[in-house]
Structure 1
Amino acid sequence: MTRLVSAAAIALGLATAPAFSFDIESMSEDERATFREEIRAYLLENPEVLMEAIGVLENRQAEQQVADDQAMVENNANALLDDGYSLVVGNPEGDVTIVEFVDYRCGYCRKAFPEVNALVEEDGNIRLIYKEFPILGPESLTSSKFAIATNLVAGEEAYARMHDELMNLRANATEEVLARLADDMGLDSAAILAAMDDPEVERQIAENHALGQALQISGTPTFVFGDQMVRGYVPIDAMKEIVEELRGEG
């Protein structure tokens, strides 16, 4: 039993401690075979050891992911926070900044939309930056181009209104549908449609895609809270907790 426990301890150590030193090469073939059998037998009798090792590994991987995300956010801070063209809403002087990479055709972006708005309105001291990140096909791209073109033609206030309308749009995002939407908002739909071909529209989308690649973002929504990156939908209560942590209130 002593040899059995010892072998299992070595197995757990190998799985959970990079600095563990064990020279298996010094063993004879018979010793290696015995060693393997002892480890196998112990793990079959005590599978919780494997779960413990897996838990330690997952924790380490999660910690490393957080550290990697923080480094990526720091290295791309200017592009995230001050690109000169992304839509900024909420309090422009807020003490907490949230960046959201969004696709207008993304179901989870739409689910998050009212909750993000509620957070910003209730808090009153959050700066929210939207990054156009169309990745879900032609209608996503058309929607983002139309939104950016609205900004070029009619300014940021109209852009913010258009963003809200596009997040709530349930019809197919064809140019005809978008033109009617702009007309209903009292905007110049013809001018906006023409501006969709402006090289500036393509530049902004290309830069956002390059930024997303640099941050290893592959889906929407993706949030950046301060130096923390959160991939996927986040309920409002969880967002509030993150904001409190950033302020040192948690």
Structure 2
Amino acid sequence: MKFLAPLALAATLATPALADLTELTDAERAAFRAEVRAYLLDNPEVLMEAIAVLEQRQANAEVERDQMAVAANADALFNSAFDWVGGNPEGDVTIVEFFDYRCGYCRRVHPDVEALIEFDGNIRYIAKEFPILGEQSVLASRFAIATRIALGDDAYETISNALMEMRGDMTEASLIALAEENGLDSQAITAALSDPLVDSTIGYNHDLAGRMQITGTPTFIFGDQMVRGAIGVDDMQRIVAAIRADAD
């Protein structure tokens, strides 16, 4: 049997009306494999090209899955009464962030989020309390939510920002001290910790994250686009600009 170049032969075999590998003898099949191996060893860039194509297809598929998840959970993402809304409530671009106060990446990206909101002026920001890093994370989120229940949105923003900057262990005593340092009524906050809405908020966000296959923090939703992990303010601005361009 006269062998074609490996890639040409592979294309030929992909056509149902033509030859099938199962029709080759053992000797012919071994020779074919040797030809393919030799070709790939002589042209390893072909493997890199194939891997790049595969990775791009996988990335595209992940983006599509994420967009479908955002669409399926849009009301819970963008309109939940459980969440604090900052920035411009009437902004033309909405950003949702799932975060944990003890997450180092959340802490690192927090100034960038604040800078984007302040610089842009037309961002609607939604905070999703999503404690996943242990008991101290849960305690911090419960304290922040209780602050909102007891003292309102402005107090929540104050304590949330303070928690992002806090160093050391997050215990009930240290959180009370933090609240008092920021001029907040710690007694009112601790009383609100028993409000069922505190645990309902955390449970709601965990259920939502589960449906959307969100397992880490920070995770952002920019419009219909999900971004897993920390990104800088320049990348945030590019994403926001692209969303606005698509809307025009």
Taking a change above 3 Å as real, the CA distance of residues 9 and 165 of structure 1, as seen in their structure-2 partners, is farther
| Matched residue, 2:23 | 26
Question: Please, what TM-score do these two structures have when normalized by structure 1?
Answer: 0.91
Given candidates 108, 111, 135, the residue that maps to 1:111 is: 108
How many pairs are equivalent? 242
| Matched residue, 1:173 | 170
Note if contact 1:4-1:38 (Cα within 8 Å) is conserved in structure 2: no
Note if contact 2:94-2:124 (Cα within 8 Å) is conserved in structure 1: yes
| Matched residue, 1:68 | 65
Note if contact 1:99-1:131 (Cα within 8 Å) is conserved in structure 2: yes
Task: Give the secondary-structure state (helix, strand or coil) at the position aligned to 2:245.
Answer: coil
Note if contact 1:182-1:189 (Cα within 8 Å) is conserved in structure 2: yes
Please show how residues 189-204 of structure 1 align to structure 2 within 5 Å. 189-204=186-201
Note if contact 2:3-2:9 (Cα within 8 Å) is conserved in structure 1: no
Note if contact 1:8-1:38 (Cα within 8 Å) is conserved in structure 2: no
Please show how residues 47-126 of structure 1 align to structure 2 within 5 Å. 47-126=44-123
Between the aligned partners of 1:65 and 1:146, the Cα distance in structure 2 is 35
Between the aligned partners of 1:185 and 1:167, the Cα distance in structure 2 is 13
Question: Please, what TM-score do these two structures have when normalized by structure 2?
Answer: 0.92
Given candidates 28, 31, 41, the residue that maps to 2:38 is: 41
Note if contact 1:4-1:39 (Cα within 8 Å) is conserved in structure 2: no
Between the aligned partners of 2:212 and 2:239, the Cα distance in structure 1 is 20
Between the aligned partners of 1:100 and 1:10, the Cα distance in structure 2 is 51
Given candidates 204, 210, 213, the residue that maps to 2:210 is: 213
Note if contact 2:179-2:185 (Cα within 8 Å) is conserved in structure 1: yes
Structure 2 stretches lacking a partner, 5+ long: none
Note if contact 1:97-1:127 (Cα within 8 Å) is conserved in structure 2: yes
| Matched residue, 1:144 | 141
Structure 1 stretches lacking a partner, 5+ long: 15-19
Note if contact 1:4-1:42 (Cα within 8 Å) is conserved in structure 2: no
